Structure 1
Amino acid sequence: MTTPREEFLAGERLDDVALYLADSYVSDDRLERFGTRVDDGVLIVVDGERGRNAFRAATGTGAMEFAQSAMGLEGIVDDELTDGQCPEAPGDDDHEVQFVFAFAEERNEDVGGIYAEGDVVHAYARCSCGTAYSDRWNVAPAERQRS
Structure 2
Amino acid sequence: MTDQRAEFLAGERPEDVALFLADSFVSDDRLEQFGDPVADGTLIVVDGERGRNAFQAATGTGAMEFAKSAMSTEGEIDDDLAGAQCPDAGEDGDHETQFVFAFAEEQNEEVGGIYADGDVIHAYAQCTCGTAFSDRWNVTEA
TM-score by length of 1: 0.91
Asked if 1:68 corresponds to 2:68, the answer is yes
1:91: how far off? 9.2
Stretches of structure 1 that go unaligned for 5 or more consecutive residues are none
Conserved in 2, the CA contact under 8 Å of 1:85 and 1:91?
no
Is the contact made by 2:93 and 2:129 (CA closer than 8 Å) also made in structure 1?
no
Amino acid at match of 1:10: A
- Shift, 1:69, TM fit: 0.3
Between the two proteins, what is the percent identity of the paired residues?
75
In the comparison of the two structures, how many residue pairs are matched? 142
Q: Counterpart of 2:30?
A: 30
Instruction: In structure 1, give the amino acid aligned to 2:43.
Output: L
- In structure 2, relative to structure 1, the CA distance for the partners of 1:139 and 1:93 (3 Å cut) is farther
Task: Give per-residue Cα distances to partners, 1:58-84, cap 9 Å, x unaligned.
Answer: 000000000000000000000110111
Q: Kindly state the Cα deviation for residue 39 of structure 1 after the two structures are TM-superposed.
A: 1.4
Structure 1 position 94, deviation (Å)? 2.8
* Equivalent-residue separation in structure 2 for 1:29 and 1:73 (angstroms): 32
Amino acid at match of 2:132: A
List, as ranges, runs of 4+ consecutive aligned residues in structure 1 with deviation greater than 3 Å.
90-93
1:10-50 Cα distance to aligned partner (Å, 9 max, x none): 01111000000000101001111211111111100000000
Q: Secondary structure at the match of 2:19?
A: strand
TM-score with structure 2 setting the length: 0.95
Q: Shift in Å at residue 93 of structure 1?
A: 8.4
Distance 1:138 1:120 in 2: 4
Separation in 2 of the partners of 1:121 and 1:91?
Answer: 28
Please name the residue that 2:135 is paired with: 135
Contact 1:19–1:51 (8 Å) recurs in 2:
yes
